[in-house]
């Protein structure tokens, strides 16, 4: 081994290093030159065969070669690592952020929230109850006797003889009256079920918001004032309204509230069946028998109740022609709201 051989190894390393473009190739180059069995180690093994007078010069040259290869290897490794890191994590902080696509509230939820907000402003609390209900709470406590013909007004999904899917949220009114002493001022939103044919105007599942007020000296005039205020807040101040006598087993007297059709302005159209009026809710003074069933003295307390269907309310306000659209999850429909 002589000095020329060492110089040729240095040139060979430079040539090999110039062709390296990835870290894997650089690691192969390290093994070739700097590993225990590499070229540089092999040269140091041959140093023992060099004549004594030439060993100092050859030894210095070998140390310089090892340092040169090691230094250039480390520099090449740093450059390749920086290049790879920049390719993976390059971020331009001056660019605008990517907008996240998030969902929105369903139109029925929006409608319930708006109704709740209006009644909350009038001092109403919100209560909820079970959807699987007993016959007692759904019918009997609300003045539906076992053979009462009014039971035929509602087609019921019975789970067993004594349990059913609630047909209205009125059972929550019973639970509130049994568990809270008057004065009571509350609304009860929730999902209800009825065995009805599914078509554009009816569905086997829908939502209701019912309200209840129990206190001393409650009058039908206060009921009308509350509902007129709600209707104007929800549908607009320009509407006209009327109350028509009706029948519900749990209220007496009972009424239904109509408002002028905002589609035709009261002139008559398909939506209002050419009457100029739209029914929005049912209401009435709580029947004394219901108060007695709930442990409230009808001689001391009176009250009123009302209820409205959320789907029907939303259909009227937003001119939706088919109730099934609320449940089909068609994005083309839902994104409009």
Domain boundaries, the chain: 3-86, 107-334
- What is the arithmetic mean of pLDDT over 222-236? 93
The Cα 337–Cα 334 span in angstroms is: 6
Give CA–CA dist 243/208, Å, rounded: 20
User: Which of 83-87, 124-128, 160-164, 212-216 has the least mean pLDDT?
Assistant: 83-87
For strands 184-193 and 125-126, give the pairing.
parallel
Alpha carbon 34 to its chain centroid, in Å, reads 61
55-89 and 3-18 helices, crossing angle to 10°? 10
Strands 157-158 and 241-248: unpaired
Residue 64, preceding peptide bond in cis (omega within 30° of 0): no
Q: What percent of the chain has pLDDT over 90?
A: 44
Instruction: Name which residue leads in pLDDT, 94 or 310.
Output: 310
pLDDT, residue 149, reads 65
129-173: per-residue pLDDT in tens? 999 999 999 999 998 877 766 566 668 888 988 899 999 999 999
Measured distance CA(209)–CA(126) in Å, rounded: 10
Better pLDDT: 219 or 319: 219
Percent of the chain whose pLDDT exceeds 70: 95
Interatomic CA distance for residues 17 and 11, integer angstroms: 10
Q: CA-to-CA distance for 144 and 293, rounded, in angstroms?
A: 11
Superfamily of domain 107-334: Bira Bifunctional Protein; Domain 2 (3.30.930.10)
- So what's the pLDDT on residue 166? 93
275: three-class secondary structure by DSSP: coil
Pick from 48, 57, 51, 62: nearest CA to 7: 62
Look at residues 24, 33, 22 and name the one whose alpha carbon lies nearest to residue 72.
Answer: 33
Residue 297 has pLDDT above 90, yes or no: yes
CA distance 102 to 316: 28
Question: Using CA atoms, how far apart are residues 38 and 68, in angstroms rounded to an integer?
Answer: 15
Taking the CA atoms of 87, 88, 92 and 93 in sequence, report the sign of the dihedral they define.
Answer: negative
User: For the ranges 35-39, 82-86, 211-215, 237-241, which has the lowest average pLDDT?
Assistant: 82-86
Residue-level pLDDT at 23: 84
């Amino acid at each position: 081994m002589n000095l020329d051989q060492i110089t040729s190894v240095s040139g060979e390393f430079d040539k090999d290093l110039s062709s390296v473009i990835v870290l894997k190739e650089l690691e192969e180059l390290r093994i070739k030159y700097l590993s225990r069995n590499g070229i540089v180690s092999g040269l140091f093994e041959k140093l023992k065969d060099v004549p004594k007078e030439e060993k100092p010069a050859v030894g210095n040259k070998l140390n310089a070669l090892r340092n040169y290869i090691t230094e250039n290897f480390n520099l090449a490794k740093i450059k390749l690592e920086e290049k790879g890191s920049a390719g993976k994590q390059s971020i331009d902080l001056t660019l605008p952020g990517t907008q996240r696509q998030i969902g929105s509230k369903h139109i029925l939820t929006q409608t319930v929230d708006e109704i709740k907000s209006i009644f909350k402003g009038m001092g109403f609390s919100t209560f909820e109850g079970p959807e699987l209900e007993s016959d007692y709470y759904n019918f009997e406590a609300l003045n539906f006797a076992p053979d009462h013909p009014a039971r035929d007004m509602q087609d019921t999904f019975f789970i067993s003889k004594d349990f059913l899917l609630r047909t209205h949220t009125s059972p929550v009114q019973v639970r509130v009256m049994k568990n809270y002493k008057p004065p009571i001022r509350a609304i009860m939103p929730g999902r209800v079920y009825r065995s009805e044919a599914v078509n554009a105007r009816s569905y086997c599942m829908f939502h209701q918001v019912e309200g209840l007020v129990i206190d001393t000296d409650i009058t039908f005039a206060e009921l009308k004032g509350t509902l007129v205020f709600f209707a104007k807040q929800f549908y607009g101040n320009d509407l006209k309204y009327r109350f028509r006598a009706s029948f519900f087993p749990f209220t007496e007297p009972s009424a239904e509230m109509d408002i002028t059709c905002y589609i035709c302005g009261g002139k008559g159209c398909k939506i209002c069946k050419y009457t100029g009026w739209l029914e929005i809710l049912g209401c009435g003074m709580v029947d004394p028998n219901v108060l007695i069933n709930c442990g409230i003295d009808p001689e001391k307390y009176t009250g009123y109740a009302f209820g409205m269907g959320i789907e029907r309310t939303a259909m009227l306000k937003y001119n939706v022609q088919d109730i099934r659209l609320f449940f089909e999850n068609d994005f083309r429909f839902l994104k409009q709201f």
